[in-house]
Amino acid sequence: MERPSVIIGIHGLANKPPVDEKTRWWKAAITEGLARNEGMAGAAFAFTFVYWADLRYDAPLASDAMDEPYRPYDGTNPLPSEEDAPTMTGSDVLAVVYQGIDRIEEATGVTLVDDLILEHRFDDLWHYHIEQEFAREVRARLVNRLKQFRDHRILLVAHSMGSVIAYDVLRLMEREAPGLQVEHLVTVGSPLGLAKVKLKIEAECGQARVPNNVGQWTNLADGNDIVAVTGALAADFVPSDTGVRVVDHRVVNDYCRPTGEANHHKSYGYLRAPEFSRIACGFVSPPSSHAANIPEELCAPGQTKGQAASALPVSPWAAFRHAATASRNEET
């Protein structure tokens, strides 16, 4: 019997709205992407959220202080994909400069530039690295959630600083829970390529590599996302012992504030990107649960609707829509 699936999310830097609202917005962004990019309107999926902002902030963001709420993108067509991403951005120029600094910092262990970036731009990540109790509490929340769903097929999506937490936890759980597996890790807007972060990983875990308890690792980065200044991660993390490699994709994060100002780092833009939707569609309710929607003509002789649904190369939603369209065309 196939194991149930679950999508586990963990947020990134800065204070957040209340946990219920943030959870609802993440799920709404994923749902929007599935509907627009994969034709899976109304797709059902299990989603749980790891929230840690309350460990750093006295109170969540109030409604009148939220300048970046989740808002559906205009229209109904598929959203811009990797093919639409600009080949060169201002961040790319900065990345070339940073790569030189990165090599010097890694070689010398002196990370003055990264220290300034973390302390003044990524304050939460700075405290995560220097406050051991805070780091233990944050990691414990993700550890507990992963253990709670250890019998599930897990898609773990980690945004921004959440990707650092997720990586640390997965390397920790290699030793402490060797039987637990994450089927797919997706990092979005990740600062894991920063020299300071990599040196911290090497100090705690040894060589920076793909965790052995991960079946796949996909990294998504918008070329204008300053947090993901290094962009691709494949060159920074060697394959796991089983040969799993980081697969990098440059994507389009289309999020805009209500004022119209773009934020290419925002989680909602990544969660509805076509590249993430293609991954998430593998973790929705099993196609067999939608077997009643499978037209008879898609079933081979002697094949049940459930068997036909499971064998479809595309989602049952798309297959049903295709068959219905063909039927209407025949009638006219």
CA end-to-end distance (rounded Å), the chain: 43
Q: pLDDT band at residue 64, thresholds of 50, 70 and 90?
A: confident
Element (H, E) at 147: helix 132-148
Answer yes or no: is pLDDT of 101 > 70: no
Residue 289 Cα distances to 7, 151, 152, 298, 299, angstroms: 18, 19, 17, 16, 16
Q: Stretch 289-310: mean pLDDT, rounded?
A: 54
Structural domains in the chain?
A: 5-283 (3.40.50), 287-331 (no CATH)
Strand order in the sheet with 47-50: 47-50, 5-10, 153-159, 184-188, 217-222, 246-251
Instruction: Note if the pTM is more than 0.85.
Output: no
Burial of 80 (0-12, 13-18, 19+ CB in 10 A): middle
Burial class (CB in 10 A: 0-12, 13-18, 19+), 212: middle
Tell me, what's the pLDDT at 141? Answer: 98
Q: What is the pLDDT of residue 120?
A: 43
User: Average of pLDDT values for 219-243?
Assistant: 92
Convert 275-285 to b/e letters by CB count within 10 Å (16 or more is b).
bbbbbbbebbe
Q: Tell me the C-alpha distance between 172 and 177, whole Å.
A: 8
CB atoms within 10 A of CB 38: 20
Pick the range with the lowest mean pLDDT from 69-78, 108-117, 275-284.
108-117
pLDDT digits (tens, 9 = 90+) for 10-41: 999 999 999 999 999 999 999 999 999 999 99
Which has the higher per-residue pLDDT, 307 or 162? 162
Return the pLDDT at 214: 98
Residue 126 has pLDDT above 50, yes or no: yes
